[in-house]
Amino acid sequence: MDIKQVMVIGAGQMGAGIAQVCAQAGFHVVVYDKHVASLDNGMKRIHTFVQRAFEKERITEEQRDETLQRLQRAEKVEAVEKADIVIEAVIENMDAKAAIFKELDQLAPARTILASNTSSLPITKLASATNRPDRVIGMHFMNPVPIMELVEIIRGLQTSDETYFKVEQMARALHKRPVTVADFPGFVSNRILMPMINEAIYTLQEGVATAEDIDTSMKLGMNHPMGPLTLADFIGLDTCLYIMEVLHEGFSDSKYRPCPLLKQYVQAGWLGKKTGRGFYVYT
């Protein structure tokens, strides 16, 4: 079976980006979100970015129209009945994702691959919520999806070779660079990135430097395109905290202990750019 029909679960920033790149690459895509307002916003976001790509002459008018024609919205999860692969992109929470995988397992055809865009959670545990653990896999896209080239492909303990090769082939069809990752907490990217961000927050908490100077040090001194505190605001401080908690629990190592200041900001509702305030104020 070749992958032709894609269903994306979750129409937030990541889900909308995944749907966009799939449609641009020639796949027929159905986007589902249980919240109609989120689905509306996600579809508008896709249309806006595709139109912007046309206006900047990155795609032709014909490519724009064909991309949008391949996109379809769904207000019922039963639309999964036609999917060759489902890519889940909802909140980074094990209980929420496991519940979705259990439901998808009951509704999707036996051939359907169930993939998660999780950035840190164990694929093997997600697979245990289904009766098809051999067809469950991680497909971690980077944000923003239309721009970032990397995709981490995470094999669970029971992921079959057939499932892996089909997903790797699909990633390349999306013009992404897949890397194979074992099922360890945080995988590769977040296992390295999040402790760096966490240490930057400790540096701020201890008064070593201001947020601006910490970010400037990493941008100019390490040639990073974005400072760690700005990046944390962009990712969402609640997401950063959750991933650090996954790392801390998964490895039982104090070096992954979330910074108290990070916890305090999340408790205050200062989650970064999406709430208008994090380590910086956004208007």
CB-CB contact of 42 with 15 (8 Å): yes
Distances, alpha carbon 250 to alpha carbons 147, 158, 186, 199, 242, in Å: 30, 19, 9, 19, 12
190 labelled catalytic: yes
75 labelled catalytic: no
C-alpha 8 chain-centroid distance: 12
CB-based contacts of 190, cutoff 8 Å, min separation 6? 119, 120, 243, 247
119 labelled catalytic: yes
CA distance linking residue 187 with residue 185, whole number of Å: 5
Supply 126's token pair. 């997600």
CB-based contacts of 239, cutoff 8 Å, min separation 6? 92, 119
Question: Choosing from 116, 120, 190, 198, which is the catalytic residue?
Answer: 190
Cis before 185 (ω within 30): no
38 labelled catalytic: no
Backbone angles phi, psi at 257, to 5 degrees: -65, 125
Look at residue 17 and give its three-state secondary structure: helix
Question: Choosing from 88, 92, 120, 152, which is the catalytic residue?
Answer: 152
CA distance linking residue 27 with residue 3, whole number of Å: 8
CB-CB contact of 30 with 4 (8 Å): no
Question: Choosing from 119, 120, 168, 198, which is the catalytic residue?
Answer: 119
**Residues forming the active site:** 119, 140, 152, 190
